[in-house]
Amino acid sequence: MSIYTPTIGLEIHAELKTKTKMFCNSKNDPDEKSPNVNICPVCMGHPGTLPTINKEAVRHVLKVGTALGGELATNTYFDRKNYFYPDLPKGYQVSQYKNPLVSGGTLKDVLVTRIHLEEDTARSSHETGNTSLVDFNRAGIPLMELVTEPVIKSGKQASDFARELRLLLRSLEAGEANMEKGEMRVEANVSISDSDSLGTKVEIKNLNSLKAVEQAVAFEIGRQEDVLKRGEQVLQETRGWDENKQITFPQRIKEESQDYRYFPEPDLPRLDISDIPEFSLERLKSEISELPWEKRSRYADVYGIKDEDIEALVQDKKLGTLFEEATEKFADDKNMIQTAANYITSDLVGILKRGKKASQEISMTSESFCELMLMIKEGTVSSRGAKDVLSVLAIEGGDAKSVGEGLGLIQKSNEDELKLVVSNIISSHKDVVEDYKAGKESALQYLVGQAMKETKGSANPQILQKLFKELL
């Protein structure tokens, strides 16, 4: 055990999904590939232009705050954060300093300090030959910033928190939070201490995957331990994460905190949240559908699904939808719901992995999936055959019955037809029949096997067994 206790706080920025930008009517399109098309005089900071507040963005943040049990501001205003950088056309960023939209709240037992709303900056890219390019499509996109209390203790806990926030944003349809696309960006403040007071804080920036969050924080804790064990001091600085070398590296030393000269944005009115009906707590609550943690409890308590299977269903939208539709279709049949969960989380996930496909590429409809589950129940297809049908359905689509027929996997369950086969086997295997009548149970299995052979494996073995018992 280390004598040092790590303390981690997170600052997470997430772009919000809205039609237009935070303060103007330019399109908010994170997928736009051509640079500088979604811009206008407002987000380009032309003199004399006036911003207006995007209510959709405010509502997203208030919903996140409501889901986390935070306190919503009764009124708020925006501040100007002044600094110079080429990605900031106005020379200031409109943000919230003293009056965040949300104060407090909890996610995965981690206390949230605040959630506020601001605008994103432009995207700059540094080309070869001393050239830098700036794309202003991103400038002014609504950006939510969530700050946690310094209560996280490990890299794993930090990445678990970020994963849960991503899931919440997606479930509220507030944002896609794809980290590889920069839609969610995590900064971690890491310090270690062997006493009750906190140690020197190091800020790790530009963590662009959940894995990077976990690994960078874990590395940084170890690095700081080594520094202190050598009798040296941890420097207060900003560090980056080198994915290839798996190390953090110094970016800049913080000598003093930068003075942003915050002051209230004079071009925007105060936002009286409590006077706006669509921002009322009741209204917000009514618009929030089942939250991820509520879904987890329902799957466990009502259907008895295993934890790791629940996670696969909750984290993946397509798999979750297939399962949800199965729960509706088979409402009271818990066995069927369990079967559906197994086929999704084990067989279907395996098929996707082998085919190197994402779940969004699944061609199978929920109806077709439920049809296949029913075919298993009714014995029209064996559980072995069902896996083959599922492979085809998942990639090519179609309806389960036709695919099963096409693959020759439909089992004969017609008793009259099978009775004929069974009586033929009985009359041609007199000695085995005698063995069975003398109490040899395995003789029955042999007879069923003979009948399966006779029907080239197309008969339902359960039906055959039943018929043999009846006829003997």
Residues that bind Zn ion (CB under 5 A): 24, 26, 40, 42-43
**Residue 405 beta carbon to Zn ion: minimum distance, rounded to whole angstroms:** 57
Sheet containing 92-95, strands listed edge to edge, beginning at the edge strand earlier in sequence: 92-95, 79-82, 263-264
- Residue 257 in tokens: 């905190």
Q: Which is nearer to Zn ion, 80 or 114 (CB)?
A: 80
Q: Which helix (H) or strand (E) holds 422?
A: helix 415-428
Q: Which is nearer to Zn ion, 137 or 391 (CB)?
A: 137
**Residue 122 beta carbon to Zn ion: minimum distance, rounded to whole angstroms:** 12
**Residue 41 beta carbon to Zn ion: minimum distance, rounded to whole angstroms:** 7
Q: Which is nearer to Zn ion, 43 or 146 (CB)?
A: 43
d(Cα 323, Cα 369) in Å, to the nearest integer?
9
- Residue 225 in tokens: 């331990």
Q: Is 26 helix (H, G, I), strand (E, B) or coil?
A: coil
> What is the full DSSP assignment across 449-461?
HHHHHHTTT-B-H
Q: Is 428 exposed, middle or buried (0-12, 13-18, 19+ CB in 10 A)?
A: exposed
The closest alpha carbon to 371, from 388, 393, 352, 338, belongs to: 393
Q: Which is nearer to Zn ion, 86 or 406 (CB)?
A: 86
Q: Which is nearer to Zn ion, 26 or 460 (CB)?
A: 26
Distance between alpha carbon 167 and the CA centroid of its chain, in Å?
A: 4
d(Cα 219, Cα 198) in Å, to the nearest integer?
19
Q: Which is nearer to Zn ion, 119 or 176 (CB)?
A: 119
Q: Which is nearer to Zn ion, 88 or 392 (CB)?
A: 88
Q: Which helix (H) or strand (E) holds 368?
A: helix 366-378
**Residue 94 beta carbon to Zn ion: minimum distance, rounded to whole angstroms:** 12
d(Cα 447, Cα 261) in Å, to the nearest integer?
89
Residue linked to tokens 């943040």: 61
Q: Which is nearer to Zn ion, 24 or 426 (CB)?
A: 24
> What is the full DSSP assignment across 185-254?
EEEEEEEEESSSS----EEEEEE-SHHHHHHHHHHHHHHHHHHHHTT-----EEEEEETTTTEEEEEEE-
Sign, CA torsion 418/420/425/430: positive
**Residue 38 beta carbon to Zn ion: minimum distance, rounded to whole angstroms:** 7
Q: How many CB atoms lie within 10 A of CB 259?
A: 8
Q: Which is nearer to Zn ion, 93 or 382 (CB)?
A: 93
Q: Which is nearer to Zn ion, 14 or 22 (CB)?
A: 22
- Residue 154 in tokens: 């490990």
**Residue 26 beta carbon to Zn ion: minimum distance, rounded to whole angstroms:** 3
Strand partners of residue 126: 132
Contact 17, 150 (CB under 8 A): no
Amino acid at 228: L
Q: Which is nearer to Zn ion, 26 or 121 (CB)?
A: 26
Q: Is 196 exposed, middle or buried (0-12, 13-18, 19+ CB in 10 A)?
A: exposed
**Residue 78 beta carbon to Zn ion: minimum distance, rounded to whole angstroms:** 16
How large is the greatest C-alpha to C-alpha distance in the chain, in angstroms?
102
DSSP 8-state secondary structure symbol assigned to residue 23: S
Q: Which is nearer to Zn ion, 66 or 121 (CB)?
A: 121
Measure Cα distances from 268 to 22, 48, 98, 271, 415 in Å.
12, 13, 15, 9, 78
- Residue 308 in tokens: 């790791």
**Residue 24 beta carbon to Zn ion: minimum distance, rounded to whole angstroms:** 3
